[in-house]
């Protein structure tokens, strides 16, 4: 059976024939199948995007940890330099 064109279908709309009903059922089934395929594609792509976002978040957490560690090391080394400078200044002064 050939599919009906839109203008042929409109011509049958007032009569509600079997052909009209069958064509409407076919179009509804086709639309549901197309929508189901689109939903599956959307779900798969959103799951892939969620996996990538999780990987990026993990990478960001690791980099943040490294940044904190380097900052702590910098603070410790700065304190060491200040203490050594104060010690050298104290040692370099002539006694009374």
Cα–Cα distance for residue pair 50/14, rounded to 1 Å: 49
The pLDDT of residue 96 is 58
* In the chain, domain spans: 6-92
Q: Coil, strand, or helix at residue 95?
A: coil
Phi, psi of 3, rounded to the nearest 5 degrees: -75, 150
pLDDT, one tens digit for every residue, the chain (96 residues): 457 676 666 666 666 677 777 877 888 999 999 999 999 999 999 999 999 999 999 999 999 999 999 999 999 999 999 999 999 998 877 655
Phi, psi of 15, rounded to the nearest 5 degrees: -95, -20
The pLDDT of residue 17 is 73
Q: Coil, strand, or helix at residue 38?
A: helix
pTM of the model: 0.53
The pLDDT of residue 70 is 98
The pLDDT of residue 21 is 77
Residue owning tokens 């943040």: 64
The pLDDT of residue 24 is 79
């Amino acid at each position: 059976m050939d599919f009906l064109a839109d203008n042929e279908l409109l011509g049958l709309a007032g009569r509600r024939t079997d052909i009209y009903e069958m064509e409407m059922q076919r179009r509804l089934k086709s639309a549901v199948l197309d929508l189901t395929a689109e939903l599956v594609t959307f779900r798969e792509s959103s799951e892939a995007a969620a996996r990538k976002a999780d990987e990026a978040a993990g990478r960001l957490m690791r980099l943040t940890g490294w940044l904190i560690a380097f900052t702590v090391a910098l603070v410790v080394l700065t304190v060491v330099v200040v203490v050594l400078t104060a010690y050298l200044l104290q040692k370099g002064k002539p006694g009374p």
